Chain A
Amino acid sequence: MTAFAELAKLPAFMRRDMRIALSYRLAAIGGLIAVAANVLVLSLVGKLVDPARLPEYGGSRASYMEFVVIGIAVSLIVIALVTQVATAIRNEQLIGTLESLLCTPTKVGTIQAGSAALMVLTIPLRTALYIAVLAVVFGLRFHADGILPGVVVIIAFVPFLWGLGLIAAGVILTVRRGVGALTLAITGLGLGSGALFPLSLLPHWLARIAAENPLAITINALRESLIGGTGWSPIGADLLKLTVPALLALGAGMMAFRFSLARERRKGTLGLY
């Protein structure tokens, strides 16, 4: 089976996931309402925040809403993508379709990629839409010429999340119930991301570590381009910073997942849940 033939299977996964997602319309609406409620709370909290304490981007000082909307958007990407990659195979195991998939002439990598393909492809669009809607509703001032660089940053950030998701998927496949650990990891990542508050509020040593957090790098780059209107100029350094952790996470994730799948086959427990 050629790589092209494997690639041609990805739309089948997307069609399947789209149809399944459409069968859960109420859940999707519930999710949107939860995000809206979250944003509303932060808009009220934002009235208490002195903008002078927020960092400047490209010489512009942001309002708290402008600051936090970007942080939330990227955090949502993290939660959606890592959770999707990590739990897709677990869900297949739970509903009993994992073995059916593995009985087809499809590579494990294709099954993994296919299970997250719809999410990966729609995330830049969903993020852009999310920011655009909130910008209109709350009258936020974002630079339109920062959208494209922002999308590129998000695309560069996705492999890192995919890698984390694969590591988590491997752990979940082995220990079955690993969602708690996954939530803990995402929370830790979020705490040191500067999504809801400037990293300068953290203790100095922690702020220095957090500054290297790929999530913090992504959020900062998005704020530079959307709030500061810095365009393409600072993006290059950020993309470079994101490349190394992305490659490391992706490599480690693929190894972890393959290892745990082989272990399950060896133990004969692939179908157990």
Chain B
Amino acid sequence: MEESREPAIHVAHLVRRFGPATALAGVDLDVRAGEIHALLGPNGAGKTTLIRILAGLTEPSAGEVRTSGAAALVPSGDRTFYLRISGLENLIFFARLQGLRLRAARRRAHELLADVGLAEAGRLPVGRYSHGMQKRLSVARALLQTPTVLLVDEATHDLDPEGALKVRALIRDLATQGTAIIWTTQRIEEVRDFADTVTVLREGVVRFRGSVAELIARAPEQRFVVTIRNGHPDRPPDPAQLQHVLSGIAHVSAGQHEAGQFVLVPSKDRTLGAAFVALATSSYDVLSCRPERAEIEEAFMALVSEGSG
């Protein structure tokens, strides 16, 4: 696909105030056709406000917002359908508002219900749908016409892993067809292998903008939860002794949950392997090891806590 020079979504110096509160304080953002751009941030960061402005539901206080076409929206809430009528009828209605004739609307609605795994539930009133089903229906509605811009606000929040995977696959397909996508999520880890670029917002300010790899590179340190045994099952290893063994290699502290579980942070330029070798040399067995938080989550936490008291 030939890349367009112009971004499909262009946001410059965007400001939105609600009375004395500033929800967005000079946000810049560009998303190209075919790109999935993840928008991360803690609650109150301004993600939903940005999405609503891009969807035309809220006006900005200042700044420039431009999209290459009408934006389709998958809203975060599930109060977006007529609960008394079926999912199929809801999709047909919205398809006709998109300009499809009745027959085409019905055909498209059936196709999309199958795509999001709601073919069997299509004739049930939406009021009987679970949160997850309504969310999938919401994704189906956004895909009624292949949009040039798609804004997805917390689409996988209520979904089980299989449902979330299905939705991400649909979105990925759409990006392949050239749709520019903004994807807000609280599931930091899902951004890996899915999004192309990331913006991290905190209190309406962009704290990071770049690729997922660049975000991961911002992770300050990796912390590992390790289970260590010293040959005395009833007497767990002493943290002070462990720290002595790992001196200059890693910092170790007692874990919060189980005896024998420790949090290990390799020192700068030292590896986890070096820590394991030192422990093995001193007759300690490492029974298990896992990252305390994913690297991407570490990077996110570091970015959103920078400068906060």
Please report A residues at the B interface, Cβ cutoff 8 Å. 1, 5, 8-9, 11-13, 15-16, 19-20, 23-24, 95-97, 99-106, 265-266, 268, 270-271
Among A9, A103, A268, max chain B CB count under 10 A is at A103
> Are A99 and B85 interface neighbours, CB within 8 A?
no
Chain A residues near B101 (CB-CB < 8 A): 8
Taken together as a complex, chains A and B put the C-alpha atoms of A28 and B94 apart, in Å, by: 26
> Are A105 and B82 interface neighbours, CB within 8 A?
no
Q: Is the CB of B98 closer than 8 A to any CB of chain A?
A: yes
Q: Is the CB of B166 closer than 8 A to any CB of chain A?
A: no
Q: Is the CB of B16 closer than 8 A to any CB of chain A?
A: yes
Beyond A102-B57, A268-B18, A268-B49, is A23–B97 a contact (Cβ under 8 Å)?
A: no
Question: What 6 A-B pairs are tightest by C-beta distance, nearest first?
Answer: A96-B79, A12-B96, A104-B97, A268-B58, A23-B84, A100-B80
Taken together as a complex, chains A and B put the C-alpha atoms of A104 and B70 apart, in Å, by: 8
> Are A15 and B93 interface neighbours, CB within 8 A?
yes
Interface residues of B in 259-274 (CB under 8 A from A): none
Taken together as a complex, chains A and B put the C-alpha atoms of A13 and B79 apart, in Å, by: 19
Chain B residues near A104 (CB-CB < 8 A): 94, 97-98
Please report B residues at the A interface, Cβ cutoff 8 Å. 16, 18, 49, 52, 55-59, 70-73, 75, 77, 79-85, 89, 92-94, 96-99, 101-102, 125, 141
> Are B81 and A100 interface neighbours, CB within 8 A?
yes
Taken together as a complex, chains A and B put the C-alpha atoms of A271 and B141 apart, in Å, by: 19
> Are B98 and A95 interface neighbours, CB within 8 A?
no
Taken together as a complex, chains A and B put the C-alpha atoms of A104 and B96 apart, in Å, by: 10
Among A5, A268, A270, max chain B CB count under 10 A is at A268
Cβ of A92 to closest chain B Cβ, rounded Å: 9
Taken together as a complex, chains A and B put the C-alpha atoms of A101 and B102 apart, in Å, by: 18
Taken together as a complex, chains A and B put the C-alpha atoms of A273 and B82 apart, in Å, by: 17
> Are A20 and B82 interface neighbours, CB within 8 A?
yes
Beyond A95-B79, A268-B18, is A100–B94 a contact (Cβ under 8 Å)?
A: yes
> Are B125 and A23 interface neighbours, CB within 8 A?
yes
> Are A95 and B73 interface neighbours, CB within 8 A?
no
Cβ of B101 to closest chain A Cβ, rounded Å: 8
Cβ of A227 to closest chain B Cβ, rounded Å: 41
Q: Say which residue of A23, A105, A106, A265 sits within 8 Å of B59 (CB atoms).
A: A265
Taken together as a complex, chains A and B put the C-alpha atoms of A270 and B55 apart, in Å, by: 12
> Are B56 and A95 interface neighbours, CB within 8 A?
no
Output the nearest chain B residue to A100 by Cβ-Cβ distance: B80
A-B contact pairs, 5 of them (CB 8 A): A12-B92, A19-B84, A103-B55, A103-B56, A104-B98
Known: A95-B83, A100-B81, A268-B18. 14 other contacts (CB 8 A): A15-B89, A15-B92, A16-B82, A16-B93, A19-B84, A23-B84, A23-B125, A99-B80, A101-B97, A102-B56, A102-B57, A104-B98, A105-B97, A268-B52
Output the nearest chain A residue to B49 by Cβ-Cβ distance: A268
Output the nearest chain A residue to B151 by Cβ-Cβ distance: A103
Cβ of B121 to closest chain A Cβ, rounded Å: 17
> Are A19 and B77 interface neighbours, CB within 8 A?
no
Cβ of A111 to closest chain B Cβ, rounded Å: 9
Taken together as a complex, chains A and B put the C-alpha atoms of A265 and B58 apart, in Å, by: 5
Chain A residues near B102 (CB-CB < 8 A): 11
Taken together as a complex, chains A and B put the C-alpha atoms of A95 and B90 apart, in Å, by: 14
> Are A20 and B85 interface neighbours, CB within 8 A?
yes
Chain B residues near A270 (CB-CB < 8 A): 57-58
Chain A residues near B71 (CB-CB < 8 A): 103
Taken together as a complex, chains A and B put the C-alpha atoms of A172 and B49 apart, in Å, by: 24
Cβ of B116 to closest chain A Cβ, rounded Å: 16
Chain B residues near A23 (CB-CB < 8 A): 84-85, 125
> Are A16 and B89 interface neighbours, CB within 8 A?
yes
Chain B residues near A95 (CB-CB < 8 A): 79, 82-83
> Are B85 and A16 interface neighbours, CB within 8 A?
yes
> Are B81 and A103 interface neighbours, CB within 8 A?
no
Cβ of A228 to closest chain B Cβ, rounded Å: 44
Taken together as a complex, chains A and B put the C-alpha atoms of A188 and B93 apart, in Å, by: 37
Beyond A97-B80, A265-B58, A268-B18, is A19–B97 a contact (Cβ under 8 Å)?
A: no
Chain A residues near B56 (CB-CB < 8 A): 102-103, 265
> Are A103 and B72 interface neighbours, CB within 8 A?
yes
Output the nearest chain B residue to A266 by Cβ-Cβ distance: B59
Taken together as a complex, chains A and B put the C-alpha atoms of A100 and B72 apart, in Å, by: 10
Q: Say which residue of A12, A96, A268 sits within 8 Å of B77 (CB atoms).
A: A96
> Are A9 and B97 interface neighbours, CB within 8 A?
yes
Taken together as a complex, chains A and B put the C-alpha atoms of A191 and B16 apart, in Å, by: 48
Chain A residues near B55 (CB-CB < 8 A): 99, 103
Cβ of B26 to closest chain A Cβ, rounded Å: 17
Q: Say which residue of B59, B80, B93 sits within 8 Å of A12 (CB atoms).
A: B93
